[in-house]
């Protein structure tokens, strides 16, 4: 056996030992699914390549202010299992692979309703939005306030269909349609 084969075998044993002592295989599968779904691993990567998984875990850990060990520990699993939006995390695809974008320092956010749904009264819409933003305030360091005129950090409008954007509405019980700013930059509308 040549020295390259011995090195590769040792590396594989070390990496395998790291995962076997920290996380059972079911949790590893759960983590791989999460990392793929939320943009930490590219589609072209082999989801069974332990080096890619370790690198993706380190990026996830850095993005969530955890020690970037690359190990699937309880703290990492706890963050992965926390409630969250279904949209991928905001990595800048045009720059270096896995580069995490900078933080948004603003904590007190405003929102404005630009158009209304015919399915609910305005008070029902406002109540639902207040409840949703209250939830986000409970699990983040953010606060939200409605403004009725002028600029707002979050602009909300209701639409029945948009044929211009290639991303479909997910439908009941699934992820809300993502922001045009994130997905359909060519379509001139705030959120749909």
- For residue 171, say whether it is annotated as part of any ligand binding site: yes
> What's the CA gap between 107 and 112, in Å, rounded?
16
Q: Identify which of 99, 81, 98, 102 has the alpha carbon closest to the alpha carbon of residue 40.
A: 98
Q: Identify which of 24, 20, 48 has the alpha carbon closest to the alpha carbon of residue 35.
A: 48
Task: Please report the beta strands in the chain, taking only residues with DSSP state E, as ranges in sequence order.
Answer: 108-113, 143-146, 154-156
Q: Identify which of 84, 77, 85, 83 has the alpha carbon closest to the alpha carbon of residue 60.
A: 77
- The pair of three-digit structure tokens given for residue 132, joined into one six-digit string: 């949703």
- Structure-token match 């920290």, residue found: 22
- What is the Cα 127 distance to its own chain's centre? 26
- For residue 153, say whether it is annotated as part of any ligand binding site: yes
> What's the CA gap between 111 and 7, in Å, rounded?
56
Q: State the binding site for Ca(2+).
A: 119, 153, 170-171
Q: State the binding site for Zn(2+).
A: 85
Q: State the binding site.
A: 85, 119, 153, 170-171
């Amino acid at each position: 056996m040549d020295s390259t084969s011995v090195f590769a075998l040792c590396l594989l044993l070390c990496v395998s030992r790291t995962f076997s002592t920290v996380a059972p295989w079911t949790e590893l599968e759960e983590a791989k699914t999460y990392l793929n779904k939320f943009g930490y691993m590219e589609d072209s990567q082999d989801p069974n390549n332990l080096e890619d998984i370790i690198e993706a875990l380190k990026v996830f850990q850095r993005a969530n202010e955890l020690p970037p060990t690359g190990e699937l520990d309880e703290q990492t699993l706890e963050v992965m299992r926390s409630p969250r939006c279904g949209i991928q995390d905001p990595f800048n695809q045009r720059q270096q692979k896995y580069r995490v974008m900078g933080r948004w320092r603003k904590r007190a956010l405003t929102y404005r309703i630009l158009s209304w749904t015919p399915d609910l009264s305005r008070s029902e819409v406002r109540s639902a939005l207040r409840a949703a933003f209250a939830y986000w305030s409970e699990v983040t360091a953010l606060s939200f306030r409605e403004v009725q005129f002028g600029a707002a950090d979050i602009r909300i409008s209701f639409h029945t269909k948009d044929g211009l954007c290639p991303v479909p509405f997910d439908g009941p019980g699934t992820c809300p349609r993502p922001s045009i700013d994130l997905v359909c930059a060519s379509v001139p509308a705030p959120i749909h």
